[in-house]
Structure 1
Amino acid sequence: MNLALFDLDHTLLPIDSDFEWGQFLCRVGAVDTAAFERRNKDFFGQYEAGTLDAVEYLEFALGTLATIDPARLAALHQQFMAEVIEPNILPVARALLQKHLDAGDLVAIVTATNHFVTAPIAKAFGVEHLIAAMPEVVDGRITGRLGGTPTQGEGKIVHTKAWLEQMGKTLDHFDAVYFYSDSHNDLPLLSIVTHPVATNPNAALTTHATAQGWPLLHLFND
Protein backbone atom coordinates (compact mmCIF):
# COMPACT_ATOMS: atom_id res chain seq x y z
CA MET A 1 0.00 0.00 0.00
CA ASN A 2 1.12 3.53 -0.78
CA LEU A 3 0.22 6.74 1.05
CA ALA A 4 -0.96 9.79 -0.89
CA LEU A 5 -1.15 13.11 0.96
CA PHE A 6 -2.63 16.24 -0.57
CA ASP A 7 -2.53 19.88 0.42
CA LEU A 8 -5.88 21.52 -0.35
CA ASP A 9 -5.71 25.20 -1.27
CA HIS A 10 -4.15 25.90 -4.69
CA THR A 11 -3.34 22.18 -4.87
CA LEU A 12 -6.65 20.35 -5.21
CA LEU A 13 -8.55 23.63 -5.41
CA PRO A 14 -7.53 26.51 -7.71
CA ILE A 15 -8.50 28.89 -4.88
CA ASP A 16 -7.68 29.37 -1.20
CA SER A 17 -10.73 28.08 0.69
CA ASP A 18 -9.75 29.86 3.90
CA PHE A 19 -9.39 33.25 2.23
CA GLU A 20 -12.54 32.74 0.16
CA TRP A 21 -14.53 31.78 3.28
CA GLY A 22 -13.59 35.12 4.78
CA GLN A 23 -14.57 36.97 1.60
CA PHE A 24 -17.86 35.06 1.56
CA LEU A 25 -18.65 36.09 5.14
CA CYS A 26 -18.08 39.69 4.10
CA ARG A 27 -20.35 39.38 1.05
CA VAL A 28 -23.25 37.98 3.07
CA GLY A 29 -22.84 40.55 5.83
CA ALA A 30 -21.92 38.06 8.56
CA VAL A 31 -18.93 40.13 9.71
CA ASP A 32 -17.74 43.74 9.81
CA THR A 33 -16.57 43.84 6.21
CA ALA A 34 -13.97 46.61 6.35
CA ALA A 35 -12.25 45.35 9.49
CA PHE A 36 -12.36 41.69 8.51
CA GLU A 37 -11.15 42.18 4.92
CA ARG A 38 -8.22 44.28 6.09
CA ARG A 39 -7.00 41.65 8.56
CA ASN A 40 -7.81 38.71 6.29
CA LYS A 41 -5.79 40.18 3.41
CA ASP A 42 -2.89 40.98 5.74
CA PHE A 43 -2.81 37.39 6.99
CA PHE A 44 -3.05 36.00 3.45
CA GLY A 45 -0.06 38.11 2.40
CA GLN A 46 1.91 36.82 5.40
CA TYR A 47 1.01 33.23 4.45
CA GLU A 48 2.26 33.71 0.89
CA ALA A 49 5.47 35.27 2.24
CA GLY A 50 6.00 32.42 4.70
CA THR A 51 5.83 34.75 7.73
CA LEU A 52 2.37 33.86 9.09
CA ASP A 53 1.94 33.27 12.81
CA ALA A 54 -0.36 30.26 12.47
CA VAL A 55 -1.88 30.44 15.95
CA GLU A 56 -2.61 34.16 15.64
CA TYR A 57 -4.30 33.66 12.29
CA LEU A 58 -6.29 30.58 13.29
CA GLU A 59 -7.62 32.23 16.43
CA PHE A 60 -8.62 35.26 14.37
CA ALA A 61 -10.51 32.99 11.95
CA LEU A 62 -11.99 30.80 14.69
CA GLY A 63 -12.93 33.87 16.72
CA THR A 64 -15.05 34.96 13.78
CA LEU A 65 -16.83 31.59 13.75
CA ALA A 66 -17.47 31.88 17.47
CA THR A 67 -19.54 35.05 16.98
CA ILE A 68 -22.07 33.32 14.69
CA ASP A 69 -24.92 31.14 15.92
CA PRO A 70 -24.11 27.47 15.13
CA ALA A 71 -27.30 26.90 13.12
CA ARG A 72 -26.65 29.97 10.99
CA LEU A 73 -23.00 28.94 10.63
CA ALA A 74 -24.02 25.55 9.24
CA ALA A 75 -26.40 27.18 6.77
CA LEU A 76 -23.74 29.66 5.69
CA HIS A 77 -21.28 26.85 5.04
CA GLN A 78 -23.81 25.02 2.85
CA GLN A 79 -24.24 28.23 0.85
CA PHE A 80 -20.44 28.66 0.66
CA MET A 81 -20.04 25.12 -0.68
CA ALA A 82 -22.68 25.67 -3.36
CA GLU A 83 -21.56 29.12 -4.46
CA VAL A 84 -17.78 28.99 -4.05
CA ILE A 85 -16.35 25.51 -3.53
CA GLU A 86 -18.33 23.18 -5.77
CA PRO A 87 -17.70 25.26 -8.92
CA ASN A 88 -13.98 24.99 -8.12
CA ILE A 89 -13.86 21.22 -7.64
CA LEU A 90 -12.53 20.47 -11.10
CA PRO A 91 -12.43 17.13 -12.94
CA VAL A 92 -8.65 17.14 -13.20
CA ALA A 93 -8.28 17.27 -9.40
CA ARG A 94 -10.90 14.57 -8.92
CA ALA A 95 -9.07 12.39 -11.42
CA LEU A 96 -5.76 12.77 -9.59
CA LEU A 97 -7.36 11.72 -6.31
CA GLN A 98 -9.23 8.89 -7.96
CA LYS A 99 -6.02 7.51 -9.45
CA HIS A 100 -4.68 6.95 -5.94
CA LEU A 101 -7.98 5.68 -4.56
CA ASP A 102 -8.32 3.18 -7.42
CA ALA A 103 -4.79 1.96 -6.70
CA GLY A 104 -5.81 1.15 -3.13
CA ASP A 105 -3.63 3.88 -1.64
CA LEU A 106 -4.37 5.43 1.73
CA VAL A 107 -5.37 9.01 0.89
CA ALA A 108 -5.56 12.06 3.16
CA ILE A 109 -5.87 15.80 2.80
CA VAL A 110 -3.40 17.66 5.04
CA THR A 111 -4.23 21.34 5.28
CA ALA A 112 -3.41 24.35 7.44
CA THR A 113 -6.99 25.58 7.02
CA ASN A 114 -9.31 24.82 9.92
CA HIS A 115 -11.44 21.69 10.13
CA PHE A 116 -14.76 23.57 10.11
CA VAL A 117 -14.08 25.07 6.69
CA THR A 118 -12.44 22.01 5.17
CA ALA A 119 -14.39 18.97 6.41
CA PRO A 120 -17.26 19.44 3.92
CA ILE A 121 -14.70 20.05 1.15
CA ALA A 122 -12.87 16.80 1.87
CA LYS A 123 -16.23 15.00 1.83
CA ALA A 124 -17.10 16.59 -1.52
CA PHE A 125 -13.81 15.28 -2.92
CA GLY A 126 -14.62 11.80 -1.58
CA VAL A 127 -11.64 11.78 0.81
CA GLU A 128 -12.31 10.11 4.14
CA HIS A 129 -9.22 11.28 6.02
CA LEU A 130 -8.65 14.95 6.80
CA ILE A 131 -5.80 16.42 8.84
CA ALA A 132 -6.66 20.03 9.62
CA ALA A 133 -6.43 22.61 12.39
CA MET A 134 -9.05 21.72 15.00
CA PRO A 135 -11.21 24.40 16.61
CA GLU A 136 -12.01 24.03 20.28
CA VAL A 137 -15.71 23.19 20.68
CA VAL A 138 -17.61 23.47 23.97
CA ASP A 139 -21.28 22.49 24.23
CA GLY A 140 -21.52 22.30 20.45
CA ARG A 141 -20.19 25.79 19.89
CA ILE A 142 -16.81 26.89 18.53
CA THR A 143 -15.08 28.92 21.25
CA GLY A 144 -12.64 30.82 19.02
CA ARG A 145 -9.62 29.02 20.42
CA LEU A 146 -7.42 26.49 18.66
CA GLY A 147 -7.62 22.93 19.93
CA GLY A 148 -4.09 21.54 19.85
CA THR A 149 -1.40 22.84 17.53
CA PRO A 150 -1.51 24.25 13.97
CA THR A 151 -1.26 21.98 10.94
CA GLN A 152 1.22 24.21 9.13
CA GLY A 153 4.87 23.74 8.18
CA GLU A 154 6.49 21.31 10.59
CA GLY A 155 3.06 20.86 12.14
CA LYS A 156 1.95 18.88 9.11
CA ILE A 157 4.64 16.31 9.90
CA VAL A 158 3.62 16.13 13.57
CA HIS A 159 -0.07 15.70 12.81
CA THR A 160 0.44 13.27 9.94
CA LYS A 161 2.64 11.03 12.09
CA ALA A 162 0.12 11.19 14.94
CA TRP A 163 -2.72 10.24 12.56
CA LEU A 164 -0.74 7.29 11.22
CA GLU A 165 0.18 6.20 14.74
CA GLN A 166 -3.51 5.95 15.60
CA MET A 167 -3.74 3.31 12.85
CA GLY A 168 -0.60 1.51 14.01
CA LYS A 169 1.42 2.79 11.05
CA THR A 170 4.42 5.02 10.33
CA LEU A 171 5.65 6.64 7.13
CA ASP A 172 8.07 3.72 6.77
CA HIS A 173 5.12 1.32 6.58
CA PHE A 174 4.41 2.38 2.98
CA ASP A 175 6.22 1.43 -0.21
CA ALA A 176 5.81 5.01 -1.45
CA VAL A 177 4.62 8.21 0.19
CA TYR A 178 3.36 10.98 -2.10
CA PHE A 179 2.73 14.56 -1.06
CA TYR A 180 1.20 17.05 -3.47
CA SER A 181 1.53 20.73 -2.55
CA ASP A 182 1.70 24.14 -4.17
CA SER A 183 3.62 25.99 -1.45
CA HIS A 184 7.11 26.39 -0.06
CA ASN A 185 5.40 26.50 3.34
CA ASP A 186 5.08 22.72 2.96
CA LEU A 187 8.77 22.06 2.38
CA PRO A 188 9.16 20.25 5.74
CA LEU A 189 6.71 17.49 4.75
CA LEU A 190 7.69 17.54 1.08
CA SER A 191 11.28 16.92 2.09
CA ILE A 192 10.63 13.71 4.05
CA VAL A 193 8.28 11.83 1.68
CA THR A 194 9.56 9.50 -1.03
CA HIS A 195 7.56 11.19 -3.82
CA PRO A 196 7.20 14.97 -3.39
CA VAL A 197 5.17 16.56 -6.19
CA ALA A 198 5.20 20.33 -6.60
CA THR A 199 1.60 20.88 -7.71
CA ASN A 200 0.63 24.25 -9.20
CA PRO A 201 3.76 25.47 -7.38
CA ASN A 202 4.37 29.05 -6.35
CA ALA A 203 7.64 30.69 -7.39
CA ALA A 204 9.58 29.68 -4.28
CA LEU A 205 8.52 26.05 -4.50
CA THR A 206 9.17 25.96 -8.25
CA THR A 207 12.75 27.06 -7.66
CA HIS A 208 13.32 24.53 -4.89
CA ALA A 209 11.61 21.65 -6.69
CA THR A 210 13.55 22.29 -9.86
CA ALA A 211 16.85 22.29 -7.96
CA GLN A 212 15.89 19.03 -6.23
CA GLY A 213 14.67 17.36 -9.42
CA TRP A 214 11.14 16.97 -8.07
CA PRO A 215 8.31 16.64 -10.58
CA LEU A 216 6.21 19.73 -11.28
CA LEU A 217 2.51 19.17 -11.89
CA HIS A 218 0.26 21.92 -13.25
CA LEU A 219 -3.38 20.94 -12.87
CA PHE A 220 -5.12 24.19 -13.65
CA ASN A 221 -3.24 25.65 -16.61
CA ASP A 222 -6.28 25.55 -18.84
Structure 2
Amino acid sequence: MTRTMPSPSAAPRALNAAPGVEARRSPLADLCADCDAVTLLPPLSPPGEGYLRHFCQLDSPLAVFDLDDTLLDGDCTGMWMRWMAACGWIEDVDAFMAIGERHQSEYHAGTLDIHEHTGHLLSPLIGRHRDEVRREVDDFVEEMVMPRLLEGGIARLAEHGEAGHRTLIISASMHHLVGPIASRLTADGALATHPAFDDQGRFTGETTGIVTFREGKLAALDAWLEDASQLKRAPQALWGYSDSHNDLPLLERVDHPHATQPDAPLRQFAEARGWPVVDWRQSHLSIESD
Protein backbone atom coordinates (compact mmCIF):
# COMPACT_ATOMS: atom_id res chain seq x y z
CA MET A 1 0.00 0.00 0.00
CA THR A 2 1.31 3.48 -0.90
CA ARG A 3 1.80 5.75 2.10
CA THR A 4 2.48 9.47 2.16
CA MET A 5 5.64 10.33 4.06
CA PRO A 6 5.04 12.53 7.12
CA SER A 7 6.20 16.10 6.90
CA PRO A 8 9.87 16.48 7.95
CA SER A 9 8.82 19.36 10.18
CA ALA A 10 6.45 17.17 12.20
CA ALA A 11 8.15 15.62 15.25
CA PRO A 12 7.56 11.83 15.28
CA ARG A 13 5.63 10.56 18.29
CA ALA A 14 6.72 7.43 20.16
CA LEU A 15 4.45 4.42 19.89
CA ASN A 16 1.77 4.51 22.61
CA ALA A 17 3.35 7.63 24.10
CA ALA A 18 1.71 10.88 25.09
CA PRO A 19 1.70 13.73 22.57
CA GLY A 20 4.98 15.59 22.57
CA VAL A 21 7.11 12.49 23.32
CA GLU A 22 9.49 12.08 20.43
CA ALA A 23 10.52 8.73 18.98
CA ARG A 24 14.09 7.99 18.04
CA ARG A 25 14.54 7.27 14.33
CA SER A 26 17.16 4.89 12.97
CA PRO A 27 18.08 3.65 9.47
CA LEU A 28 15.86 0.63 10.14
CA ALA A 29 12.66 2.21 11.41
CA ASP A 30 10.23 5.08 11.16
CA LEU A 31 6.66 5.73 12.24
CA CYS A 32 3.57 4.96 10.20
CA ALA A 33 2.13 8.17 8.80
CA ASP A 34 -1.40 7.02 9.62
CA CYS A 35 -1.29 5.27 13.00
CA ASP A 36 2.13 6.00 14.57
CA ALA A 37 3.02 2.30 14.54
CA VAL A 38 6.69 1.42 14.12
CA THR A 39 7.43 0.64 10.49
CA LEU A 40 10.31 -1.23 8.88
CA LEU A 41 12.20 0.46 6.09
CA PRO A 42 13.90 -1.27 3.15
CA PRO A 43 17.23 -2.83 4.13
CA LEU A 44 20.32 -0.62 4.15
CA SER A 45 18.66 2.19 2.20
CA PRO A 46 16.44 5.23 2.81
CA PRO A 47 12.72 4.75 2.20
CA GLY A 48 11.48 4.88 -1.35
CA GLU A 49 9.44 7.86 -2.47
CA GLY A 50 6.26 7.77 -0.43
CA TYR A 51 6.54 4.11 0.56
CA LEU A 52 6.59 2.54 4.01
CA ARG A 53 5.96 -1.14 4.75
CA HIS A 54 3.78 -1.29 7.83
CA PHE A 55 4.17 -3.82 10.65
CA CYS A 56 1.85 -4.05 13.62
CA GLN A 57 3.54 -3.79 17.01
CA LEU A 58 2.67 -7.43 17.73
CA ASP A 59 4.44 -8.52 14.54
CA SER A 60 7.83 -7.19 15.73
CA PRO A 61 10.44 -8.18 13.14
CA LEU A 62 13.20 -10.53 14.24
CA ALA A 63 16.90 -10.06 13.50
CA VAL A 64 19.12 -13.14 13.75
CA PHE A 65 22.89 -12.69 14.06
CA ASP A 66 25.64 -15.26 13.78
CA LEU A 67 28.38 -14.68 16.36
CA ASP A 68 31.85 -15.79 15.24
CA ASP A 69 33.30 -13.55 12.51
CA THR A 70 29.98 -11.69 12.33
CA LEU A 71 29.61 -9.80 15.61
CA LEU A 72 32.96 -11.01 16.93
CA ASP A 73 36.29 -10.59 15.17
CA GLY A 74 37.37 -14.18 15.56
CA ASP A 75 36.10 -17.53 16.79
CA CYS A 76 34.95 -17.67 20.41
CA THR A 77 35.40 -21.46 20.47
CA GLY A 78 39.09 -21.21 19.60
CA MET A 79 39.52 -18.42 22.14
CA TRP A 80 37.76 -20.53 24.78
CA MET A 81 40.03 -23.50 24.04
CA ARG A 82 43.05 -21.33 24.83
CA TRP A 83 41.31 -20.11 27.98
CA MET A 84 40.70 -23.69 29.14
CA ALA A 85 44.36 -24.44 28.54
CA ALA A 86 45.34 -21.47 30.71
CA CYS A 87 43.02 -22.81 33.43
CA GLY A 88 44.98 -26.07 33.45
CA TRP A 89 41.94 -28.06 32.32
CA ILE A 90 43.73 -29.68 29.34
CA GLU A 91 46.43 -32.29 29.83
CA ASP A 92 48.06 -32.34 26.38
CA VAL A 93 47.56 -28.79 25.16
CA ASP A 94 49.46 -29.18 21.88
CA ALA A 95 47.48 -32.24 20.82
CA PHE A 96 44.19 -30.67 21.89
CA MET A 97 44.82 -27.44 19.99
CA ALA A 98 45.98 -29.35 16.90
CA ILE A 99 42.65 -31.13 16.73
CA GLY A 100 40.89 -27.79 17.17
CA GLU A 101 42.85 -26.31 14.26
CA ARG A 102 41.91 -29.30 12.09
CA HIS A 103 38.27 -28.81 12.98
CA GLN A 104 38.52 -25.13 12.06
CA SER A 105 39.91 -26.00 8.63
CA GLU A 106 37.16 -28.56 8.13
CA TYR A 107 34.55 -25.99 9.12
CA HIS A 108 35.72 -23.57 6.44
CA ALA A 109 35.86 -26.41 3.92
CA GLY A 110 32.32 -27.49 4.77
CA THR A 111 33.41 -30.97 5.91
CA LEU A 112 33.30 -30.64 9.70
CA ASP A 113 31.87 -33.51 11.75
CA ILE A 114 30.07 -31.34 14.28
CA HIS A 115 29.54 -34.20 16.74
CA GLU A 116 33.26 -34.98 16.82
CA HIS A 117 33.90 -31.27 17.31
CA THR A 118 31.48 -30.80 20.22
CA GLY A 119 32.80 -33.93 21.91
CA HIS A 120 36.33 -32.61 21.64
CA LEU A 121 35.36 -29.16 22.91
CA LEU A 122 33.45 -30.53 25.89
CA SER A 123 36.00 -33.17 26.92
CA PRO A 124 37.97 -30.89 29.30
CA LEU A 125 34.74 -30.01 31.11
CA ILE A 126 33.60 -33.54 31.93
CA GLY A 127 32.91 -33.77 35.66
CA ARG A 128 33.19 -30.03 36.23
CA HIS A 129 30.23 -28.28 37.82
CA ARG A 130 28.34 -25.80 35.69
CA ASP A 131 28.87 -23.06 38.31
CA GLU A 132 32.65 -23.46 38.20
CA VAL A 133 32.60 -23.26 34.41
CA ARG A 134 30.22 -20.30 34.40
CA ARG A 135 32.57 -18.28 36.61
CA GLU A 136 35.37 -18.85 34.11
CA VAL A 137 33.06 -18.07 31.19
CA ASP A 138 32.07 -14.74 32.74
CA ASP A 139 35.73 -13.75 33.08
CA PHE A 140 36.43 -15.05 29.58
CA VAL A 141 33.64 -12.95 28.05
CA GLU A 142 34.83 -9.77 29.75
CA GLU A 143 38.54 -10.23 29.06
CA MET A 144 38.57 -11.96 25.66
CA VAL A 145 35.27 -11.44 23.88
CA MET A 146 34.13 -7.91 24.63
CA PRO A 147 37.33 -6.20 23.37
CA ARG A 148 37.01 -8.02 20.02
CA LEU A 149 33.44 -7.09 19.14
CA LEU A 150 32.97 -5.54 15.73
CA GLU A 151 31.63 -2.03 16.12
CA GLY A 152 29.48 -2.12 12.99
CA GLY A 153 27.84 -5.36 14.03
CA ILE A 154 27.09 -4.15 17.55
CA ALA A 155 25.70 -0.91 16.13
CA ARG A 156 23.41 -2.86 13.81
CA LEU A 157 22.26 -5.07 16.69
CA ALA A 158 21.42 -1.90 18.64
CA GLU A 159 19.60 -0.38 15.66
CA HIS A 160 17.32 -3.38 15.46
CA GLY A 161 16.55 -3.09 19.16
CA GLU A 162 15.88 0.64 18.89
CA ALA A 163 13.53 -0.08 15.99
CA GLY A 164 11.47 -2.35 18.22
CA HIS A 165 12.76 -5.54 16.65
CA ARG A 166 13.58 -8.66 18.62
CA THR A 167 17.13 -9.97 18.30
CA LEU A 168 18.66 -13.43 18.55
CA ILE A 169 22.25 -14.59 18.41
CA ILE A 170 22.52 -18.01 16.79
CA SER A 171 25.82 -19.86 16.73
CA ALA A 172 27.45 -23.22 16.16
CA SER A 173 29.44 -22.56 19.33
CA MET A 174 28.24 -24.03 22.62
CA HIS A 175 25.43 -22.41 24.59
CA HIS A 176 27.46 -22.07 27.80
CA LEU A 177 29.54 -19.54 25.81
CA VAL A 178 26.93 -18.00 23.51
CA GLY A 179 24.25 -17.49 26.17
CA PRO A 180 26.36 -15.23 28.42
CA ILE A 181 27.64 -13.30 25.38
CA ALA A 182 24.10 -12.72 24.11
CA SER A 183 23.04 -11.59 27.58
CA ARG A 184 26.00 -9.21 27.79
CA LEU A 185 24.96 -7.71 24.43
CA THR A 186 21.32 -7.45 25.62
CA ALA A 187 20.05 -9.59 22.76
CA ASP A 188 16.62 -11.12 23.35
CA GLY A 189 17.95 -14.66 23.28
CA ALA A 190 20.56 -17.15 22.12
CA LEU A 191 20.23 -20.28 20.03
CA ALA A 192 23.21 -22.60 20.38
CA THR A 193 24.08 -26.22 21.13
CA HIS A 194 23.37 -27.08 24.76
CA PRO A 195 25.77 -29.20 26.82
CA ALA A 196 24.27 -32.03 28.86
CA PHE A 197 24.59 -32.17 32.66
CA ASP A 198 24.20 -34.97 35.17
CA ASP A 199 21.93 -34.81 38.23
CA GLN A 200 24.59 -32.88 40.16
CA GLY A 201 24.91 -30.21 37.47
CA ARG A 202 28.22 -31.51 36.12
CA PHE A 203 29.17 -31.61 32.44
CA THR A 204 28.82 -35.07 30.90
CA GLY A 205 30.69 -34.30 27.68
CA GLU A 206 27.53 -34.87 25.64
CA THR A 207 25.10 -32.45 24.02
CA THR A 208 21.34 -32.25 24.30
CA GLY A 209 18.70 -30.94 21.91
CA ILE A 210 19.33 -29.45 18.49
CA VAL A 211 22.94 -29.13 17.37
CA THR A 212 22.98 -25.65 15.86
CA PHE A 213 25.19 -26.21 12.84
CA ARG A 214 24.23 -25.75 9.18
CA GLU A 215 20.64 -27.07 8.86
CA GLY A 216 20.58 -27.35 12.66
CA LYS A 217 20.57 -23.56 12.94
CA LEU A 218 17.49 -23.46 10.74
CA ALA A 219 15.82 -26.18 12.82
CA ALA A 220 16.54 -24.24 16.02
CA LEU A 221 15.16 -21.04 14.51
CA ASP A 222 12.03 -22.80 13.28
CA ALA A 223 11.49 -24.24 16.76
CA TRP A 224 11.85 -20.76 18.25
CA LEU A 225 9.39 -19.34 15.71
CA GLU A 226 6.91 -22.11 16.51
CA ASP A 227 7.07 -21.22 20.19
CA ALA A 228 6.61 -17.54 19.33
CA SER A 229 3.62 -18.38 17.14
CA GLN A 230 1.95 -20.22 20.01
CA LEU A 231 2.37 -17.07 22.10
CA LYS A 232 0.92 -15.01 19.23
CA ARG A 233 4.21 -13.14 18.88
CA ALA A 234 5.41 -14.58 15.59
CA PRO A 235 7.49 -12.04 13.62
CA GLN A 236 6.25 -11.16 10.15
CA ALA A 237 9.72 -10.27 8.87
CA LEU A 238 13.08 -11.94 9.46
CA TRP A 239 16.54 -10.42 9.09
CA GLY A 240 19.71 -12.51 9.03
CA TYR A 241 23.44 -11.80 9.28
CA SER A 242 26.29 -14.27 8.82
CA ASP A 243 29.81 -14.60 7.44
CA SER A 244 29.82 -18.29 6.47
CA HIS A 245 28.55 -20.43 3.61
CA ASN A 246 27.67 -22.97 6.33
CA ASP A 247 24.77 -20.63 7.20
CA LEU A 248 23.22 -20.60 3.73
CA PRO A 249 20.20 -22.65 4.93
CA LEU A 250 19.54 -19.98 7.55
CA LEU A 251 20.12 -17.00 5.25
CA GLU A 252 17.86 -18.44 2.58
CA ARG A 253 15.12 -18.76 5.21
CA VAL A 254 15.01 -15.07 6.21
CA ASP A 255 13.42 -12.17 4.34
CA HIS A 256 16.45 -9.87 4.52
CA PRO A 257 19.72 -11.86 4.36
CA HIS A 258 23.05 -10.07 4.79
CA ALA A 259 26.54 -11.42 4.13
CA THR A 260 28.90 -9.97 6.74
CA GLN A 261 32.65 -10.27 6.16
CA PRO A 262 31.66 -13.26 3.98
CA ASP A 263 33.90 -16.16 3.09
CA ALA A 264 34.46 -16.65 -0.64
CA PRO A 265 31.59 -19.11 -1.28
CA LEU A 266 29.09 -16.95 0.60
CA ARG A 267 30.27 -13.78 -1.13
CA GLN A 268 29.83 -15.38 -4.53
CA PHE A 269 26.37 -16.63 -3.61
CA ALA A 270 25.32 -13.29 -2.08
CA GLU A 271 26.47 -11.29 -5.09
CA ALA A 272 24.59 -13.65 -7.40
CA ARG A 273 21.43 -13.23 -5.34
CA GLY A 274 21.83 -9.48 -4.87
CA TRP A 275 22.11 -9.73 -1.08
CA PRO A 276 23.76 -6.85 0.79
CA VAL A 277 27.42 -7.52 1.57
CA VAL A 278 28.85 -5.58 4.53
CA ASP A 279 32.24 -5.47 6.24
CA TRP A 280 32.35 -4.68 9.95
CA ARG A 281 36.04 -5.48 10.45
CA GLN A 282 37.23 -1.90 10.14
CA SER A 283 36.84 -1.06 13.83
CA HIS A 284 36.10 -2.64 17.18
CA LEU A 285 33.97 -1.69 20.14
CA SER A 286 34.80 -2.41 23.76
CA ILE A 287 31.71 -2.20 25.98
CA GLU A 288 32.55 -1.15 29.51
CA SER A 289 31.01 -2.90 32.51
CA ASP A 290 28.18 -1.07 34.27
TM-score under structure 1 length normalisation? 0.92
Q: 2:174 aligns with which of 114, 127, 138?
A: 114
Matched, 1:13 2:13: no
CA contact (8 A) 2:128 2:203 kept: no
CA contact (8 A) 1:26 1:37 kept: no
- The match for 2:117 is 57
CA contact (8 A) 1:26 1:36 kept: no
Q: Distance in 2 between matches of 1:20 and 1:120?
A: 15
Distance 1:48 1:103, change over 3 A: same
Matched, 1:216 2:277: yes
CA contact (8 A) 1:89 1:125 kept: no
Q: Distance in 1 between matches of 2:236 and 2:188?
A: 21
* Shift, 1:168, TM fit: 1.9
Q: Distance in 1 between matches of 2:227 and 2:176?
A: 22
Q: Distance in 1 between matches of 2:205 and 2:110?
A: 24
Query: Which gives a bigger RCO, structure 1 or 2 (Cα 8 Å, sep 6+)?
Result: 1
Matched, 1:207 2:268: yes
CA contact (8 A) 2:129 2:201 kept: no
Aligned pairs for 1:186-197 (under 5 A) are 186-197=247-258
CA contact (8 A) 2:212 2:220 kept: yes
Greater alpha carbon shift after TM alignment, 81-90 vs 50-59: 81-90
- Structure number, greater radius of gyration: 2
Greater alpha carbon shift after TM alignment, 148-157 vs 85-94: 85-94
Distance 1:192 1:169, change over 3 A: farther
* Shift, 1:29, TM fit: 2.7
Aligned pairs for 1:2-41 (under 5 A) are 2-32=61-91, 33-41=93-101
Matched, 1:141 2:202: yes
CA contact (8 A) 2:259 2:277 kept: yes
Q: Distance in 2 between matches of 1:135 and 1:71?
A: 13
CA contact (8 A) 2:128 2:202 kept: no
Per-residue CA deviations over 1:135-191 (Å, capped at 9, x if unaligned) read 111221111101023101111111111112112269xx5342111000000001111
CA contact (8 A) 2:64 2:170 kept: yes
- The match for 1:81 is 141
* Shift, 1:61, TM fit: 1.1
Residue ranges of structure 2 left out of the alignment (5+ in a row): 1-59, 284-290
CA contact (8 A) 1:93 1:219 kept: yes
Residue ranges of structure 1 left out of the alignment (5+ in a row): none
Structure with more helix by fraction: 1
Greater alpha carbon shift after TM alignment, 60-69 vs 191-200: 60-69
CA contact (8 A) 1:196 1:215 kept: yes
**Large movers: runs of 4+ above 4 Å:** none
Q: Distance in 1 between matches of 2:130 and 2:275?
A: 43
- SS for the counterpart of 1:167 is helix
Q: Distance in 1 between matches of 2:227 and 2:174?
A: 21
CA contact (8 A) 2:214 2:246 kept: yes
Q: Distance in 2 between matches of 1:11 and 1:49?
A: 18
Q: CA RMSD in A?
A: 1.7
Q: 2:229 aligns with which of 158, 168, 172?
A: 168
Per-residue CA deviations over 1:87-139 (Å, capped at 9, x if unaligned) read 11343322111110111112111111110111111111111211000111122
Q: Distance in 1 between matches of 2:237 and 2:230?
A: 13
Q: Distance in 1 between matches of 2:152 and 2:274?
A: 24
- The match for 1:99 is 159
- SS for the counterpart of 2:253 is coil
